[in-house]
Structure 1
Amino acid sequence: MSAVRRAVWLSYTFQFFFGLLLWLPVFYEYQRQLGLSDTQIFGIQSIYYIAFCLLEIPTGMVADRFDYRHCLVAGGVVLIAANLTPVVLASYTGFLVHFLLIALARSLVSGAASAYLYEYMHAAGAGADYPQAEGYGRSYSLIGKVVCWPVVGLLMQWNMPSPYWLSAVNAAIAVVAAVALPAIPGRSSRQLDSAIAAPSDRPSPPPISVALRGAFHQLRSSRLLVLLMVQGVAIFTLARICSVNLFQPILDSKHTPVVLYGVVMALMTVFEALGAARPNWLRRRVSDVRSVFLLTVAMAVTLALAGLLGVVGAVVALCVFSLACGLSFPIQRALLNAAITDSRYRATLLSIESIIDRAVCALVALALGGYLEAGQLTGFLVQTAVGTCVLMVAVGVAIKAARRRAEAATVG
């Protein structure tokens, strides 16, 4: 096995097991059975997103300054503790601590995982294959969910906390994969001893004290980069709010048995995996920016339809939503990575994008609790769809204007 292939497959293994959270299809019902109200459940979700915002930039700077692999290992270790917390402390406090640790684990991994794969493949001369590799990695990470989620309801009936401690086992496997990841060619020696560093085209990482200033300077100098981040916010916000916060209330509103929650989520995951494995299918037909626009609008519309239709129509709408989500993620990641001109700040800038969408998620989750308490889930879904479509039109117009100005400046 070649060095690049080994690094890519270890990255796939990490993504596979790190993302295999077996409790995800049932955590809403799990907390309700333990006596938490909708307001408490979604209040915790809002705190989770805010915590992620506060943690994202510091962890991104650490990844840029030191080693992406160290952040992946640390994120896996924290995830083990997070998954075990509800097992030993099944209360509001326990779930609050659980989601705060989830926020820390994800913030350590979110920018570093994508940045590691991008940097390694480009340093090894395989950069052209990165978009497809990103898509395959996301697709493979969904396979375990397709296999395991249909039985989560039965696991919960057999042993109520089993989805949590089994998720801790998965996190431990992810840690093993992260430890085995090879160093990025030309980078390890420079970080260990800059005086005897091997020559490399990649700029050396800046001190942490200037990393944040450098990242924001790049944002100020590239309006297109800012707009691409905003465009990605709609995708990631819709995806997280649907899969984490809205999925279970939508099924609950259709009086769906809890034992089927995992089955429906697994079906959605199949469609997301199909999309993630074939991002080039759409890229060959329309530009990347237009692809993201069309897919985000499709996600917003189908999410609204999931609330308006019956149980069968809702499941179909959620599957179409997942297909669009799978197609859009690797395209958006490739767009954003290509727009980052200074790789020293790559993980920090990817973390900034995550901060924006988590901040929006925090507001949405906070509002969602009130809508559910008032029985207004469908109204919430329709308003979200309309707002997303308006935002995407505005951003699309701004991106075209930014590109025209950039082309005019180049010609001039």
Structure 2
Amino acid sequence: MGRRRRALPPVAAAALRVNVIRLYKAFQLCNGLLWWLPIFYLYQRDIGLSDQEIFGIQAIYYVAFCLLDVPTGALADRFDYRRFLQLGAITITIANLVPVFVQNYWGMLSHFLLIALAYSFTSGAGSAYLYEYLHRTGRDDEYKNAEGGARAYSLIGRVVCLPAAGVLMQWHATSPYLLSAAATLVALFFALRLPPLPPGEHRHEQIAVTRAWRVLRASPLLALLMVQGVAIFTLVRILQANLFQPVLDAKHLPVAGFGVLMAVTTLFEAAGAARPGLLRRKVSDLRAVFLLTVVMAVCLALLVPLGIVGVVVCLCVFSLASGLSFPVQRQLVNDAITDPRSRATLLSMESLIDRAVCSLVIFALGGYLSRGAMNDFLLHAAIGTVLLMAVVATTIHLVRTKERSR
């Protein structure tokens, strides 16, 4: 028989828990510090790729992530969440170095495929590790603030690096990729220092995909909360990654201001992520996420009639709302998972659905933009989001009423 680990004294356990949260925040900060984010399109153009090749690589990236995310999440449930965080940091470090040495189409394709693999390693395992650690130490209530703090750390890192990306690229074209590799190598150091999970009531004795599917089928509330999360992620991804530059260009903001404004909006998102319990005094967590999602949709619609000053305000409010909503929504989903053996798999499933829906919306966006109908897309996306939230809220109310009547 193996030696059982002795329980730590309360003071030592509390100190270790604080250290785990700090290490997790540091990991998220360094692992998300991708200096090349604002300039990767320009970099690919400079090395000779066409727009068709660039966006084709993005489409392949989404497909690869969707194919990899659930299997890697299931393996993380089977083995050790920490090992998958370490694998993710190693893989993304290699990915960041590929464009430095292979400056052609195949190099960039390999780069993004490795990015997809790296994020599939960490997308479910990170939150699962943090939640399980706090749950097993009886501190579930700390998860939301810990996850929000980690998100804020990651965003603040981007605030620091995003404005410098263009200057760094002019100084040395590959420097943003080299700095990104250095940051993710530091993330590996923090991942290696994470302690094992305390003893719990479950062991990861088998692959979790089938079990996760059973959990999802047995919990309509969990499925609905995932749909709620899909709406948040899609709005954020579409506006911040795909429409940010077209919207600002349509409002005639100088290109030099794009990076600065992106840093400012990221700062607002970080402020929201650092204070996820701000609305708890007024409304429940579930209602707060619904209200914040509607606020984000309204901001999206207001981008159409407003001038540049109003657009800047809307982008800041949108970012603040997304920062507030993300950790709260993650807490709701984690609380709704009834079998912790499938936690990483279920979180990976949610992430897969996020990316799949996002890829479909991006496909539709291409059609709107080809017709010069960006404003129509913004309005339709806002209206669709509000209607979806109304349907999800009503369905959750019916599900809870049915559960109470049993």
> Would you call these one fold, judging by a TM-score over 0.5?
yes
How far apart are the structure 1 equivalents of 2:315 and 2:101? 34
How far apart are the structure 1 equivalents of 2:378 and 2:56? 19
2:184 is aligned with 1:184: no
Which letter does structure 2 place at the counterpart of 1:61?
A
How far apart are the structure 2 equivalents of 1:408 and 1:288? 23
Q: Structure 1 residue 385: deviation in Å?
A: 1.4
Contact 1:39 1:370 in 2 (8 A): no
2:345 is aligned with 1:332: no
Q: Which residue pairs with 2:358 in the alignment?
A: 361
Deviations 1:307-326 (A, max 9, x none): 54333322221111100000
Ranges in structure 1 where 5+ consecutive residues have no aligned partner: 187-199
Q: Which residue pairs with 1:59 in the alignment?
A: 72
Deviations 1:52-111 (A, max 9, x none): 111111010111111111000111111112222222333333333222211111111011
What secondary structure does 1:283 align onto? coil
Q: Compared with structure 1, are the counterparts of its residues 38 and 319 closer, same or farther at alpha carbon in structure 2 (3 Å cutoff)?
A: farther
Q: Which residue pairs with 1:197 in the alignment?
A: none
2:149 is aligned with 1:136: yes
Give the stretch that moved more between structures: 232-241 or 63-72.
232-241
How far apart are the structure 2 equivalents of 1:37 and 1:374? 21
Q: Compared with structure 1, are the counterparts of its residues 259 and 51 closer, same or farther at alpha carbon in structure 2 (3 Å cutoff)?
A: same
Which letter does structure 2 place at the counterpart of 1:295?
L
How far apart are the structure 1 equivalents of 2:126 and 2:316? 27
Q: Compared with structure 1, are the counterparts of its residues 206 and 253 closer, same or farther at alpha carbon in structure 2 (3 Å cutoff)?
A: farther
RMSD: 1.8
Give the stretch that moved more between structures: 116-125 or 400-409.
116-125
Give the stretch that moved more between structures: 58-67 or 117-126.
117-126
Q: Which residue pairs with 2:87 in the alignment?
A: 74
Q: Which residue pairs with 1:203 in the alignment?
A: 202
Q: Which residue pairs with 1:275 in the alignment?
A: 272
2:291 is aligned with 1:294: yes
How far apart are the structure 2 equivalents of 1:379 and 1:112? 38
How far apart are the structure 2 equivalents of 1:247 and 1:98? 23
How far apart are the structure 1 equivalents of 2:141 and 2:361? 37
Determine which of 128, 141, 147 is the counterpart of 1:115: 128
How far apart are the structure 2 equivalents of 1:24 and 1:183? 33
Give the stretch that moved more between structures: 230-239 or 46-55.
46-55
How far apart are the structure 1 equivalents of 2:231 and 2:302? 17
What secondary structure does 1:280 align onto? coil
How far apart are the structure 1 equivalents of 2:262 and 2:340? 36
Ranges in structure 2 where 5+ consecutive residues have no aligned partner: 1-11
Determine which of 8, 12, 27 is the counterpart of 1:14: 27
How far apart are the structure 2 equivalents of 1:327 and 1:288? 11
How far apart are the structure 1 equivalents of 2:36 and 2:245? 12
Q: Structure 1 residue 176: deviation in Å?
A: 0.8
What secondary structure does 1:281 align onto? coil
Q: Which residue pairs with 2:8 in the alignment?
A: none
Contact 1:153 1:260 in 2 (8 A): no
Contact 1:46 1:363 in 2 (8 A): no
Q: TM-score, normalised by structure 2?
A: 0.92
Deviations 1:220-279 (A, max 9, x none): 111111111111100011122222222233233334444332211110111001111111
After the TM superposition, which residues 9-408 of structure 1 pair with which residues of structure 2 at under 5 Å, given as runs?
9-34=22-47, 36-186=49-199, 200=200, 202-208=201-207, 211-408=208-405
Q: TM-score, normalised by structure 1?
A: 0.90
Which letter does structure 2 place at the counterpart of 1:73?
Q
Q: Which residue pairs with 2:5 in the alignment?
A: none
Q: Percent identity?
A: 58
What secondary structure does 1:99 align onto? helix
**Number of equivalences:** 393
